Amino acid sequence: MSDPVRSRRGGAPPTANEPKPAPTLEECLLDLQDLIEHARSMPMSASVLVSRDDVLGIIDEAMRGLPEEIQRARWLIKERDQFLVEARRDANLIIESARAQAERMVERIEIVREARRIADQMVFDAESDARRLRNEAEDYVAGQLLKFEETLEDILAVTRRGRSRFAIQKEVEEEVEEDQDFFDQDYLDDE
């Protein structure tokens, strides 16, 4: 692949001793876009000529980076689960604290009725907070998973467009080869 395509990744290229970092899916898509944008145009056509090896190389890099993206999604799910566990634990602590406080208040005969009302409200508030925290965590993870899904759909769309262009390019190349093999007797007679 050409250096302008790789320039989007930034920084100096890795030396022979350094391991080459796996490109992200976004970097691969940008490389593919650059390759197509800088490709030589076909005369009188919207088609361009691109190296099959270059495009397949970019697709291979995207496929290698895909497990990393999946691992990030799994990490997000794990983070969500941990957050939910902590939220439940915090909610239980709040509820237990509210109950303990309610029990202490109930022991005082003169404020028994008020203590129960306050304790019930505290339990209700704690349960509401726990529900709210759980909903926020689930909304956050759902948003992250949606972004991941959109990235995967973008990769699929680019791959399909690339395959379509290869098919068109192959047809154009076959037509050019057929035209080169055409023998024109009239052309020789005119000379």
Q: If phi over 0 gives left and psi between -120 and 50 gives alpha, with beta otherwise, what is residue 156?
A: alpha
Cα separation, 22 vs 189, in Å, equals 61
Return the pLDDT at 89. 93
**Cβ-based neighbours of 25, under 8 Å, separated by 6 or more:** 62, 65, 66, 69, 151, 152, 155
Q: Phi and psi at residue 49, in whole multiples of 5°?
A: -100, 125
At 5, is the pLDDT very low, low, confident or very high (cuts 50, 70, 90)?
Answer: very low
Please tell me the predicted confidence (pLDDT) of residue 4. 43
Burial code (b: 16+ CB inside 10 Å, e: under 16) for 133-150 equals bbeebeeebeebeeebee
pLDDT on residue 188: 58
Question: Which of 22-26, 48-52, 104-108 has the least mean pLDDT?
Answer: 104-108
Q: What is the pTM of this model?
A: 0.32
Per residue, the 3-state secondary structure of 12-75, as one string, reads CCCCCCCCCCCCCHHHHHHHHHHHHHCCEECCCCCCEECCHHHHHHHHHHHHHHHHHHHHHHHH
- Residues 56-84: tens digit of each pLDDT: 888 888 887 777 778 888 888 899 899 99
- Encoded tokens for 43: 């005369």
User: What is the per-residue pLDDT for 153?
Assistant: 92
pLDDT of 183 above 70: no
**Contact assessment for residue 1 and residue 58, using Cβ atoms and an 8 Å cutoff:** yes
Tell me what pLDDT residue 11 has. 47
pLDDT above 60 (res 7): no
Own/partner pairs, 77-81, CB within 8 angstroms, 24+ separation: 77/141, 77/145, 79/141, 80/137, 80/138, 80/140, 80/141
Return the number of other C-beta atoms located less than 10 Å from residue 155's C-beta: 21
Burial string for 169-188 (b: 16+ CB within 10 Å, else e) reads: beeeeeeeeeeeeeeeeeee
Tokens found for residue 13: 């290229």
pLDDT per residue as tens digits for the range 136-179: 989 998 999 899 899 989 989 988 988 888 888 888 777 767 66
Q: For residues 23 and 1, is the Cβ–Cβ distance under 8 A?
A: no
